[in-house]
Structure 1
Amino acid sequence: MAEVHIIGQLTGASGFPSANLSCKWSIVAGEEWTLLEGSIKGHTQVDLPVDARFSVWSHPIDVHYSTKSIKGWPKIQFQIFHQDRFGRNELYGYGFIHVPTTPGMHELECMTWKPLSSNSNKLWEFFLGASSQLRDTDVIHNGADRFRLVTATMGKVHLELGIILRNFSNYGISMS
């Protein structure tokens, strides 16, 4: 079997309207992919940064997959939350990236977006501290449904990932 090791960290976030951010993340892979080791989802701590322009998480990612096909190559999806002074978590954005297909170290940035609310919901959100959220998080990485949404650009998630590939040449796949 061909193998992919994804080792790295969610370093942090920048460009969001406020600090006190956390990130819920998950790795999504196709049906032909088997998780051998590691956790494919997690949630960072809430960062209370000195410099509000950059939240620091330093949250580890360490996953090992095996596969017989490159179909369904892994993606990492993100949900960013802002914690207000009352401890409520407000959705600040969604995003996803494809895991790099080349071995080595990669510094990545993932742009995020947020669904815009209707005018009637804006008043509700203002008083309750809530925000519009997706009913199905698969929309984050499935492009066909996502393009029907009205969204606003939010900040960036920063990652450092090391990719190790093994035995792909045994299946006639050159990953150089």
Structure 2
Amino acid sequence: MAEIHIIGEVDTAKDFRKQHLFCKWYIQIGNNWRVLSGKKEGQTQVASTEFEDICRWSYPIDLHLATSGIQGWPKLYLQVYHLDWLGRSHLFGYGLLTIPTLPGQHDLDCYTWRPVGTLQEKLVQFFLGGGPQLKNPLMILSASDRRKINTEAMGVVSFKITVIFRNFFDYGVEYN
């Protein structure tokens, strides 16, 4: 089987309007793929943007996958949360990033967004926290479902990822 190694880190977050952020990430793969080693999901520590405009996580990603076909290429799905002054976590943004199809080192930026609610929901969010969330967060993996959502931009999560291919030529997959 052809194999791919994804090694890197969830590096930083910037341009978010709140402090005390953390990120949950998941690797979404198709039916032709299986995990040989590593974790398909993780969560960073809480980091503060109190003294600078960048939240630094440097949280490691190390995943080894095998595939019998390239359908269902890996995508990195993430959710950014912030802790309020009471220690409650609130979903602050969604993001989706396709793992590069070329081997080598990649610096990637994932632009995040969140659903926009009604005026009443915005008032509740301002005074009580929280905000609108997707009933099925995995619907952002489908472009046709995603375009129906009214959203606002939140911030940018940066990744440093190295992609290593193995046995792709042996199985007839070429890349340039």
With normalisation by structure 1, the TM-score equals 0.96
Is contact 1:19-1:53 (8 Å) kept? no
Identity between Structure 1 and Structure 2 (%): 42
Give the AA of the match of 1:46. V
The whole-number CA distance in structure 1 between the counterparts of 2:130 and 2:22 is: 16
Unaligned runs of 5+ in 1: none
Describe how 1:89-104 pairs up with structure 2 within 5 A: 89-104=89-104
Quote how far apart the aligned CAs of 1:86 are. 0.7
Give the AA of the match of 2:60. P
Is contact 1:18-1:52 (8 Å) kept? no
The whole-number CA distance in structure 2 between the counterparts of 1:58 and 1:77 is: 17
Quote how far apart the aligned CAs of 1:84 are. 1.1
The whole-number CA distance in structure 1 between the counterparts of 2:21 and 2:33 is: 31
Is contact 2:6-2:162 (8 Å) kept? yes
Are residues 1:75 and 2:70 paired?
no
With normalisation by structure 2, the TM-score equals 0.96
Partner of 2:22: 22
The whole-number CA distance in structure 2 between the counterparts of 1:81 and 1:4 is: 29
Give the AA of the match of 1:122. K
Are residues 1:165 and 2:165 paired?
yes
Distance 1:19 1:130, change over 3 A: same
The whole-number CA distance in structure 1 between the counterparts of 2:137 and 2:84 is: 23
Unaligned runs of 5+ in 2: none
Structure 1 outlier segments of 4+, above 6 Å: none
Give the AA of the match of 2:141. H
Q: Secondary structure at the match of 1:122?
A: helix
Are residues 1:175 and 2:172 paired?
no
Partner of 1:133: 133
Q: Deviations over 1:11-67 (max 9, x none)?
A: 010011122110010000101001110001111111024534100111000000000
Quote how far apart the aligned CAs of 1:122 are. 1.9
Partner of 1:154: 154
Aligned residues: 176
Alignment RMSD, CA only?
A: 1.1
Comparing 117-126 with 14-23, which one deviates more in the overlay? 117-126
